[in-house]
A and B are shown apart, each in its own frame.
Chain A
Amino acid sequence: MDISVNWLRALAPSIEGSADELADALSARAVPVDRAELVGQELHDVVVARVVEVGKHPNADRLSLCRVDAGGGDTLEVVCGAPNVVENAFYPFIPAGGTLPGGFKIERRKIRGQESNGMLCSEKELGLGRDAAGIMRLGDEHTPGESFVEAFGLPDARLEVDLTPNRIDLACHAGVARELAPGGVNDLVLPPVGGPDWSPHWQSGEESAAAGGVSVTIEDGDRCFRYLAAIVRGVTVGPSPEWLQARLRAAGSRPINNVVDSTNYVLLELNQPLHAFDLDRLAGPEIRVRAARNEAHTTLDGASHKLGPEVSVIADAERPVALAGVMGGADSEVSAETSDILIECAAFDPRHTRHTAGATGLATDASYRFERGIDESGMEGALRRCVELITATAGGVADAEAIRVGRGPVSAPPVRLRPSRVRAVLGLTLTGDQIAALLEPLGFEVTVIESGAETPAILEVTVPGWRNDVRTEADLLEEVARRYGYESFPQEARAMRPSAVPDSPAWQRADRVRRVLASAGMLEARSSTFVPESRTSGRPARLLKPLSEAESVLRTDMVPVLLGRVEHNWSRGHRDVRLYEIGTVFQSTSDAQDSRPGSDLPVIEELRVALVLTGLSRPPHWSGSEGDLDVADLKGSLEDVVADLGLGEILPGEPEDLGDGLPFGWGWWLGEESFCIFESERLIGVAGRVRDDALDAPVWAAPVYAAEFRLDSVQLEDLRSYTDLPTFPAVTRDLALLLDRSVPAASVAATIRDAGPDTLESLTLFDVYEGDKIGDGQRSLAWRLVFRASDRTLRDVDVEEGLNSITANLEERFNARIRSS
């Protein structure tokens, strides 16, 4: 919303300060101002000039050679490139030697061989507007040589106000003036617009009324609360006077003609949207406010619409002539031939306006205001001002009778405000008078309805019609706080109690995971929640309106998303990638039988941790000892992570039962080298080498390993306890076993532990051998066993007994042979 500072001062002469100061004041007290911009600065060299003659430039088709009267006695030759230059019209002109805003100096010079003694200017060149299509044509009542700045009430300044949805009252100059004037509403005066006073005789009705041969009917009072109409006959449609055009331009609105400009002026001044119909083009003539009946309609902007019943329209006896509260129609538009007009001043329902705007894809100045609610009590005044402005600028005579249909203006009920709440919520101790002094300049009326010991107990505050956002005591507290000034609050210490809500275990687990994985050399990724359906498993939850098919469902697994990130890194030439992510996965349970207890949502979420690893196991080094990560690196990393996070145990193979919680989509990305992570029977994670066909890998890529587990399985309790350090020496024995290749190492280890004595302290596999020295289908597993007793020095004989039992069991179960070294 653009606000002209000159306009503000015209409404409230008490407003003082520079544009920047006003912008700061408005930001500090009401709504942000994005920018304060000076308009029409450095225009002192510009004069109003009349083009006396327009001729063709002898050497250029697109240029014309003009004779210009700039008031100096003689006429000047000026070359002009604008297509819209006509004889006997007035334009802003800079004679040679003058400068444009920004310091560009206009020199006398030859253009294609013809001398040019100055420049005829466009709006844009003068910094007044955005129109650069042609030079700026002025009205006909000027004298050549007049100061342009004086004729246009310049310089001005423009505030770009960033309206918040609640402060629709600040979408007009009167609203901003109320905020900025020291005396608020009391300082506001509407300057006369020049037309004859108009105080109509109202023809009123609840649903229908007629005057001057025109009838107005509201068919559906839910869509339109009030409809006021005035008729002006015999207008002459043409350009608006300069002051009016200048005002509109300063407020960012493009002048069109005197009738339309008048409605826009009142909109920008008082916030009431108005619309002028060409009365001769209304069938009947009558106005009906109703739902559309699947009709076709062309709006002012030339667009055709098919209107369904959710759209509210203004119709004449035959067809829609406007979209209610949104935009007028092309058929009844005011044009140069228009003589009689009907001016609409209505209050449309916010919700229906929203539906009408939504269904037609239009958002206009009018719909913006109606969607948020207008000041119903100001409608008569706005219509009166518009009629006076039209008769002043376009001539014609207003009918003495005007039409008013619908209910009376509804004023918001008074709101109670307790000074005790001002103290409780704001921390300010204010008297009734102090509160009134803050609120009354904004148009509120404050009365004491229950007195108290020192300050009144209850105040009753009447809300002005333009502040329909103020409905509760809390709303008034905000008014008090911002008028008091957020920056003026005292600084005082307050005692406080710590939260009774325990710190979330989910975040504590995430902290632990990050610590462990970061120190294991992995980098944290934050990737996308949205994936293509092809990278999901189970029953993914689908977005109703995705941004694209590749982002159409919510991830059901973390690893696939990270695999996408690996591919991205490959595309950037990174071969070594070690990523982890903590994030949410989703499964849909639209099927009632599948809905799980404890969840009231048809989409179930689970926090997961995923990691992907590929490339060198260590950073490249000149000694060249490092190789690519393999399945043992993955398992080792997992074993560390599992131990650090208290996750449970890792077993090779695919899970048979998916257990509780959301499923893991292992089917498509996991290949043969895979693991499951269990925590007492419950499957809590999967891991393994990623299948080659699950990735789009360049030839130079290394194998990719990945793991994913549930965050809630991370152990938070600190289960560690101290064990006495050994005081007696250990006995170490090595045991090399010759076994069938198919015997799993884990089974051998389990047997050794089971069969061994309690004094078996540790068991380490230190060599695996397959090859020529032993038979086909055989392998040798060499273990180091450390025995220790906590209460004595072990004798050889103690250890021998244990070893015998171990070897006997191994022979019996696996047909293992002791391999002599």
Chain B
Amino acid sequence: MSSKDEQGNLKETLESIRIEALEAIQEAEDPESIEEARVRFLGRNGLLSRALSGLKSLPAEERPEAGKTANRVKKTLETTLEMRVDELASLLEPEEEGGPDLTLPGRRQWRGGVHPVTVVIDEICEIFKELGFTRAAGPEVETDWHNFTALNIPLDHPAADMHDTFYLDEGLLLRTHTSPVQARVMMEHEPPVRILAPGMVFRRDPYDASHAPAFEQVEGLAVDEGIDFIEFRAAIDYFVHRFFGASARTRFRPSYFPFTEPSAEVDVSCFICEGSGCAACKRTGWIEIMGSGMVNPAVFEAVGYDPERYTGYAFGMGPARIAMLRYRIPDIRLLYEADVGFLEQFA
């Protein structure tokens, strides 16, 4: 037998020991059979020792390589055996006092979130999206033409008193409502227009529990051929049922906005007391949620739409106020202070 053959035989023997030993270790189900496997394969007189004794018969130059292989097999078997011992220990040993205390707090990440007013705005936009609306944006610094004149509000008229305005310069102001976005969108696009314009608006009111000089508004506008008061009511009813729940009821009352005619104030049955009367609804059972109406033809004329061809409706609501009602936030200043303790409640 050539030394090559002998080396080949040794290699084969080692391989068969490896496979046999790994099987025996994996099949061992208790400490006794593990010990048995250890003695049998890795013991002083075990199979591996005996196979290694064959090394001596190899020529000197081949011994190192064969030795390496033998050592690798030995290491593999030792590691596997150790792991199996640990595995069996954890399987067999009963959970003892002093093991991990699973009631200890876990390791967490900081929680992020969106602002409660954003939650409300997004929900409003999502619902109107179902009615074919898209979102629009417009500047916060506006001309008095866009903010008042285009919306049929004469500058020297008591209706302008409804907005106590921050002026930056002659004819330049911070928008008092998101309605100027209506004018901008209509001047840029032809109908069908169905848009929502969420954004900040500004009034000269110092901060108190229910006023802020800057707050959010969501404006809505739908213009197309054939839109009538019946569709307007249906759209608002749809929104109210989706937003406030199927049992919510609406009430439309006459009101006045220069840019709508007829104008309507929309009340929703109080979602806090469900109509029985509470502080939120001032004991009336109703909460005012939006000003709305059919677009005044004067607005269409100002933006270059044909008022004989197109009709439409518009509405505006205050998501900050709705968020306060929904989450029972007692003071509007909490919305704008960015107190971490407040914001984390909505994360």
Contacts and interface: CB of A to CB of B under 8 A. Distances in A.
Interface in A170-211: none
B222 to A, nearest CB: 8
Contact of A519 (B112, B137, B140): B112
Contacts of B136: 501, 504
A500 B190 contact: yes
Nearest to A626: B107
Contact of B134 (A504, A525, A618): A504
B172 A602 contact: yes
A481 B264 CA distance: 10
A497 B261 contact: no
Interface string B313-335: 00000000000000000000001
Contacts of A487: 251-252
Contact of A497 (B132, B137, B140, B252): B132
A737 interface: no
Nearest to B237: A491
A569 B339 contact: yes
Contacts of A270: none
A372 interface: yes
B277 interface: no
A584 B140 contact: yes
A140 interface: no
B311 interface: yes
Given A474-B298, A503-B135, A569-B340, A494 B226 contact: yes
A52 B174 CA distance: 67
Nearest to B254: A482
A503 B344 CA distance: 30
Contacts of B6: none
A486 B233 CA distance: 9
Interface in A21-52: 27-32
B113 interface: yes
A427 B137 contact: no
B187 to A, nearest CB: 12
B297 interface: yes
B339 A574 contact: yes
A520 B262 CA distance: 47
A507 B135 contact: yes
A512 interface: no
A472 B191 contact: no
A506 B137 contact: yes
Contact of A494 (B114, B117, B231, B347): B231
A602 B169 contact: yes
Contact of A501 (B134, B140, B256): B134
A425 B336 contact: no
Most buried by A among B112, B202, B229, B263: B112
Nearest to A371: B158
B231 A572 contact: no
Contacts of B341: 572, 574
B347 A491 contact: no
Nearest to A529: B214
A576 interface: yes
A525 B131 CA distance: 30
B189 A578 contact: no
A31 B107 contact: no
Interface stretch (B53-61, B63-71, B160-168): B160-168
A477 B228 CA distance: 12
A491 to B, nearest CB: 7
B193 A530 contact: no
Nearest to A547: B206
A25 to B, nearest CB: 11
Given A501-B193, A568-B339, A618 B132 contact: no
A166 B231 contact: no
B256 A167 contact: yes
Interface residues of B, number: 90
A793 interface: no
B297 A543 contact: no
Nearest to B224: A497
Contacts of B143: 601
Contacts of B169: 544, 602
A562 B113 CA distance: 16
Contact of B158 (A354, A489, A621): A354
Contacts of A321: none
A478 B254 contact: yes
B133 interface: yes
A475 B216 CA distance: 30
A351 interface: yes
Interface string B242-273: 00000000011111100001111100000000
Contacts of B216: 526
Contact of B338 (A542, A547, A565): A565
A748 B92 CA distance: 53
Interface string A565-600: 100110010101111010110100000000000000
A542 B254 CA distance: 39
A725 interface: no
Most buried by A among B172, B229, B234: B229
A437 interface: no
Most buried by B among A499, A501, A572: A499
A372 B158 contact: yes
B7 interface: no
B230 interface: yes
B132 A526 contact: no
Nearest to A542: B168
A554 B222 CA distance: 32
A499 B132 contact: yes
Nearest to B337: A568
A619 B109 CA distance: 6
A618 B110 contact: yes
Contacts of A622: 104-105
A649 to B, nearest CB: 24
Nearest to A372: B158
A527 interface: yes
Interface string A356-374: 0000000000000001100
B340 A576 contact: yes
A26 B214 CA distance: 33
A458 interface: no
A351 B160 CA distance: 13
B291 to A, nearest CB: 11
Contacts of A527: 336-338
A763 to B, nearest CB: 28
A519 B112 CA distance: 6
Interface string A502-535: 1110110001001001111111111111100000
A518 B110 CA distance: 10
B343 interface: yes
B72 interface: no
28 contacts: A165-B256, A424-B311, A425-B294, A478-B254, A478-B261, A486-B253, A487-B252, A494-B234, A495-B226, A496-B194, A500-B189, A500-B192, A501-B134, A501-B185, A501-B189, A507-B198, A518-B112, A518-B114, A523-B340, A526-B118, A526-B336, A544-B166, A547-B204, A547-B206, A569-B338, A584-B200, A586-B141, A622-B105
Pairs A-B, 5 closest by C-beta atoms? A498-B132, A521-B110, A427-B228, A164-B256, A525-B338
Interface of A: 27-32, 164-167, 351, 354, 371-372, 423-428, 472-475, 477-478, 481-482, 486-487, 489-504, 506-507, 511, 514, 517-530, 541-547, 551, 554, 562, 565, 568-569, 572, 574, 576-579, 581, 583-584, 586, 601-603, 605, 618-619, 621-623
Given A424-B311, A518-B113, A578-B110, 6 more contacts: A425-B311, A494-B227, A501-B136, A568-B339, A579-B340, A619-B110
